[in-house]
Amino acid sequence: MGNENQPRTTLADLKEVGSRGCILDVNGDDAVAIRLMEMGLTEDEEIEVIGFAPLGDPIEYSIRGYRISLRSTEAARVSIRSI
């Protein structure tokens, strides 16, 4: 059970290469949220920051043994627990 008063941490909050987190959930139930879950961003999966585009967006991540790139707006929809 989470503390409702703590600020929410998202993938977009991981600002350094090598930062890792454990996915808690994907916020929303629209097409973008469904696509993120179809790409493997599901509860309890570990995800790591691999790199940033020259202007900082998109961000490359490693999850389930493959790499994906997400826009910061997409990453902000994924709640995580830092590890």
User: pLDDT value at position 1?
Assistant: 44
CA 82, CA 57: separation in Å to the nearest integer? Answer: 20
For the segment 68-74, the average pLDDT, to the nearest whole number, is 95
21-82: CATH topology is SH3 type barrels. (2.30.30)
The whole-number pLDDT of residue 2 equals 47
- With a cut of 60, say whether residue 3 has pLDDT above it: no
User: What is the tens place of the pLDDT at every residue in 5-44?
Assistant: 566 899 999 999 999 999 999 999 999 999 999 999 999 9
C-alpha distances out from residue 51 to 8, 27, 28, 73, Å: 22, 23, 26, 16
Query: What is the model's pTM?
Result: 0.85
